[in-house]
Each structure stands twice: as structure tokens, then as C-alpha cells.
A and B are shown apart, each in its own frame.
Chain A
């Protein structure tokens, strides 16, 4: 450990060996109990009845339609929040204006709202008894207990992910490079795509992958607005709930294992993006 350089003081600059082993064992035991065990359990339960049953559960028409709806939801939510994240971080990170930290707090707001409340607010607006309910019914537009409601609730819960990743990243990069590009005659859009974008691309990937994971996995908010119509308004997490409540445990875990795989892919991509970001940030820091 670090203490080896300083042989004399190693006793007080680092812990005795037995303390180190004790702490290491305790920490790893805690993580094994709370992280590895559940992860292993998902796959063990999913394959409980063998591969055939596993694949059959995934090929169920209701499951396939849940997968389709989840993909549609993520395909709408992620681009919307990506565009917002880039625009918001451009305004917030590259300019200074009064009320900036308050604006950042407002952007973070959906993170501190309970998922159930996030779903409820849309029911209050678009539901039958809500503000727009009678008008929507008169025009035969369904939002709550239909796909648009699911998308809206998902946009809400994933709202801050990309913005909150890009704001500190773009702030740490300053605006010298963009100013140089503009002085050299580049247009605003050229400056963004040729100068800003290469600097933030790993941050964008990081935000997008987390936003996507939440969009595909959101349960509470979606469960309030979905109406749980099989084969039409069920996303993958809701399908897991239905199967589980029907005591088809192996099928429920088979579908859940799709989401667990998604989580593992998310962690892998996130780790790579983080590593790439750390490679790019220190350079600009030392230049200053």
C-alpha cells in the first residue's frame, strides 16, 4: 500500500494488515449479498425450467408486444431528452445569467419526485376527471391508459439524465475553443458540430445510456398511467409484474432477465464512457 514508501510511519499512515483484510472482507461480503446474489438469482430463476421454457416465455405474443412498446417508448423519450439536454447545457454551461443554479435545481426536480407521483400528475391533467379530460374525450383522443401517457410519464422520469451529465462536463471545458472557432469564421452550427460535439460525445453516450436504461425499466410512473391492457399498453416491467402476480415465476424471471441483461450492458457502456471522459477532461484541466 501507500505506506510502504514511508517505512517508519507505515503503522499509522496505513491500517494494520488484519484491519485491512477485515474491512475488505466486510465490504465484499456486503456487496456480494446485496448485488451479486440478486443478479445471480434473476438468471437462475429464469432458467429454472430449462432453456426451452425460457425461450418459449420470451416468444409469448404478449411479451413480444411489451418489448415492442418498450422499444417505442425509449425511441421517443431518449431523443427528446437528448435534444433538451444538449440545448439546456449549451445555455447553462456556456453562458452566465441570474437564476442559473435555480434552473439547474428545477431540471433535477423529476429525480426527487416519487415515480408514483410522476404518473399521477399526468392522470390529473389528461385523465377523465382531469383538466383536459372532457375535451380529450369529446375529440376521442386517449392519452391516459394508452401509449401517449406511457411516453409522457417516461419522458418526465428520464428528463434530467442527459442534461445533468452534460452541464458539468461542458462547464469544465470552458468556451475558449468555441470562441477560437468563431473568430476563425466558423458558423454557430459548425462550431457546435466540429468543436463542442467531439468534446462532449462521451458525456452524451453516458447520459443516453442511463436515460435509456431508465426509460426501458421505469415501473412506478408507467404503472399509474398504463391501465395494464395486455398486449397493448404493457411495457416489459409491467409484463414482469403481471406474470409474477399470476405465479408464472419462471416466465416472469425470463422476461426480467432481458432487463437484467440490459442493465449489465448499460453498466459496461457507462464504464467505458466514464473512462473515455476521464481521458479527455484532465488534458483541458492542465492546459489552464
Chain B
């Protein structure tokens, strides 16, 4: 069926366009990524396991995944709230705020990193209020989670926002006519419609946080076993010329990224089916 429609297509340039696409994709993305797997394949199984399951590495997974999960949960909650407010309410400066939501995409991660650190250190704008209560944010896993909340902030907002915009007001009116109160309408009508988008945004924010490096290393403190993230460990190994160790950990991370990508694709398919 699909080949049939291509034969009926009179537009020129399909073969060179697809050819160049595959050529450039292979050159820039596929061949370099495969280098990682070939390099990993030269390791012995025991060597691989020793590299990816060393205590310091395991601790870094705990820090990275734990903080990413916490950040994604916070972003899921506040992302829905922000999307809701941006779609449903009218207030002064709404357009400006809507545009600003994408700031974490546009602001280079190193800038975000040093700025967040300066805010949350003990003399910082916010840190000075936490310090007397014995709460340390900068240079602890809490700081890592804060940086991850910042970089993941736009994902849930931007996936939920279009769904809320398309949500038919009539459905809510129908539920209202049938005697549902506002909370019931939200819980039984609006929330289930948003759910696939929330989960997609959650997964995107989580995946981004797991791989994030620039905004975190400044605020993390980078204490081995306590506040050291996995991407930093890769760099540390590289600086010690331990290419095998760096490659093994990178492969483990890449496999997790691929699994996340698969989840996100399935979630997006689900939400599309939901929309129809």
C-alpha cells in the first residue's frame, strides 16, 4: 500500500533525499554510537560487570536515578498545575510567562548550573534562609534534584498544554448537567484525558535528568558515594585514561536511554490513540 502511493507520487527527489538522510544519519549518529558497542564488545564479561557494578558506580546510579525520579515527580505535579493555569485562566503577563517556560531549553546548562549553585549556597539568595534550619541544598543530593527540576520543567507543561487546549468544554458541561461536582469532573473526566500526556512528559523529564551533566556538576558537590552522578563518573574514568571503564558505564547508560525512548514512544502512541 505504501509503495503503491509512492509510485503515484509525482514529486521529485525521493531517492537522493532519502539517500542523503541515511548517509548523514549514519555518519554522524549511527556509526559513532556503534563504536561504543564495539568497544564494549572487546571487554570481557567479568571486566564489564566489574566496571558497571562497582560500589562507587552503583552509588552513582542510586543518586542519579533517585534524584531524577524525585525531580520528575515534582515536575509532573507542577507541570500539570502550570499547564492548567496557562490554558484555563487569564492573568497579566500570561504570554510572557508562557514563553519563559521554555527557558530551561534555551539557557545553556553550565549557566543554569553556576546560577542555581549561587542561589542555594549558604550565602545565596535562598540558601541563607535554609541554612539556619539545618537544610543544606547546594553540594547535596537535594541540590542535584533542584537542578533536575529546572532542566525538566518544560517537558510536562509542553506535553499537557496542547491536550488541555483541545479538551472539549462540552464534555465537562455534560458531566456537570449529570450532577457531577467540580472535583469529580476533574478526577473522572479531565484527569484521565490528561494522563497519557502527563506520563509522557514525566518520562521525558526523567530521561533528560538521568543524562544531564552541565547543570548538575556545579551544584552536586561531587562526593563519591554521596552526590556523584553517573555521567560525571564517565568523565572521571576518561580523565584517568580508563577507557574501558568509561565505555562500559556509558553503554549501561545508553541501554537505559534506549529503554526510556521505547517507553516514551509507546506512551505517545497510547496518547494518540486516546486522542482519537
User: Does A38 lie within 8 Å of B13, measured CB to CB?
Assistant: no
User: Is A112's beta carbon under 8 Å from chain B?
Assistant: yes
User: Does A114 lie within 8 Å of B13, measured CB to CB?
Assistant: no
Indicate the member of A38, A108, A266, A270 with the most B CB atoms within 10 Å.
Answer: A38
Report A-chain residues with C-beta under 8 Å of the C-beta of B207. 112
User: Does A38 lie within 8 Å of B115, measured CB to CB?
Assistant: yes
User: Is B231's beta carbon under 8 Å from chain A?
Assistant: yes
Indicate the member of B32, B102, B126, B150 with the most A CB atoms within 10 Å.
Answer: B32
User: Is A125's beta carbon under 8 Å from chain B?
Assistant: yes
User: Is A256's beta carbon under 8 Å from chain B?
Assistant: yes
How many residue pairs bridge A and B at CB < 8 Å? 297
CB closest residue in chain A, given B116: A38
Question: Which of B33, B112, B126 has a CB less than 8 Å from the CB of A121?
Answer: B33
User: Does B182 lie within 8 Å of A123, measured CB to CB?
Assistant: no
Question: Which of A106, A129, A220 has a CB less than 8 Å from the CB of B30?
Answer: A106
Question: Which of A15, A87, A252 has a CB less than 8 Å from the CB of B17?
Answer: A87
User: Does B169 lie within 8 Å of A87, measured CB to CB?
Assistant: no
For residue A240, give the distance in angstroms from its CB to the closest CB of chain B. Answer: 5
Report B-chain residues with C-beta under 8 Å of the C-beta of A114. 210-213, 231, 250, 253-254, 257
Q: A156-B32, A219-B108 are in contact. Are A237 and B13 (CB under 8 A)?
A: no
A222-243 residues at the B interface, CB under 8 angstroms? 223-224, 236-238, 240-241
User: Does A1 lie within 8 Å of B88, measured CB to CB?
Assistant: yes
Report A-chain residues with C-beta under 8 Å of the C-beta of B97. 28, 31
User: Is B274's beta carbon under 8 Å from chain A?
Assistant: no
Report A-chain residues with C-beta under 8 Å of the C-beta of B260. 112
User: Is B129's beta carbon under 8 Å from chain A?
Assistant: no
Report A-chain residues with C-beta under 8 Å of the C-beta of B105. 210, 213
Report B-chain residues with C-beta under 8 Å of the C-beta of A84. 20-21, 24
Interface segment among A57-65, A89-97, A134-142, A280-288: the answer is: A89-97
Complex alpha-carbon distance, A108 and B257, angstroms: 12
Q: Is the interface of A mostly helix, strand, loop or mixed?
A: helix
User: Does A1 lie within 8 Å of B6, measured CB to CB?
Assistant: no
User: Does A13 lie within 8 Å of B172, measured CB to CB?
Assistant: yes
User: Does A159 lie within 8 Å of B28, measured CB to CB?
Assistant: yes
User: Is B138's beta carbon under 8 Å from chain A?
Assistant: no
For residue B265, give the distance in angstroms from its CB to the closest CB of chain A. Answer: 7
CB closest residue in chain B, given A187: B12
For residue B28, give the distance in angstroms from its CB to the closest CB of chain A. Answer: 6
User: Does A31 lie within 8 Å of B176, measured CB to CB?
Assistant: no
Complex alpha-carbon distance, A91 and B9, angstroms: 12
B interface residues with partner A (beta carbon < 8 Å): 2-3, 5-6, 9-14, 17-18, 20-22, 24-25, 28-33, 35-36, 39, 78, 81-82, 84-86, 88-91, 95, 97, 99-112, 114-116, 118-119, 125-126, 149-150, 153, 169, 172-173, 175-177, 180-182, 185, 207, 210-214, 218, 231-232, 234-235, 238, 243, 246-247, 250, 253-254, 257-258, 260-261, 265
A interface residues with partner B (beta carbon < 8 Å): 1-2, 6, 9, 11-16, 19-20, 23-24, 26-28, 30-31, 34-39, 41-42, 45, 84, 87-88, 90-92, 94-98, 103, 105-110, 112-117, 120-125, 127, 129-131, 152, 155-156, 159, 175, 178-179, 182-183, 188, 191, 210, 213, 216-220, 223-224, 236-238, 240-241, 244, 249, 252-253, 256, 259-260, 262-264, 266-268, 270-271
Other A-B pairs beyond A6-B173, A120-B246, 5, CB < 8 Å: A1-B89, A35-B153, A112-B207, A114-B231, A268-B99
